[in-house]
Amino acid sequence: MSTISLEKERWQSYFDNFSKVFEPAAASLEIVSIDVGDQPEVSSLTLNGVTYDPRNDVLELQLGDQVDHLIQQPKEVYVTETDDGFASMEVVDKEGAKHILTVKAQA
């Protein structure tokens, strides 16, 4: 298992490729910040894709049929990959809150 810090210049190409090769899988999303503590946002929704729009500086997580989680002006992105592929991602937003996306292991 390895965690890498993605440079901002790579976000668009990394997530464009990610969305092409990633098989939809169950995922959970939590937000951690000083203001709200540790808040589960979604649990066991299908992660359909991740995109980054550099023009508007927005990272979008597509979860389930109706959830588009938008992270405005992300500052840092860390991705954890295993031998089996993508495992998790942590995005730090402009206020310092962490958006942690975890893909559940396939049974």
pLDDT digit string (tens) for 45-80?
Answer: 999 999 999 999 999 999 988 889 999 999 999 999
- Domains parsed from the chain with CATH numbers: 2-103 (2.70.180)
CA-to-CA dists, residue 96 to 51, 65, 81, angstroms: 20, 28, 23
Distance CA 71, CA 101 (A): 12
Q: Average model confidence (pLDDT) for the chain?
A: 89
Phi then psi for 26, rounded to 5 degrees? Answer: -65, 140
Q: Give the angle 17-44-39 at the CA atoms, nearest 5°.
A: 100
pTM of the entire predicted model: 0.87
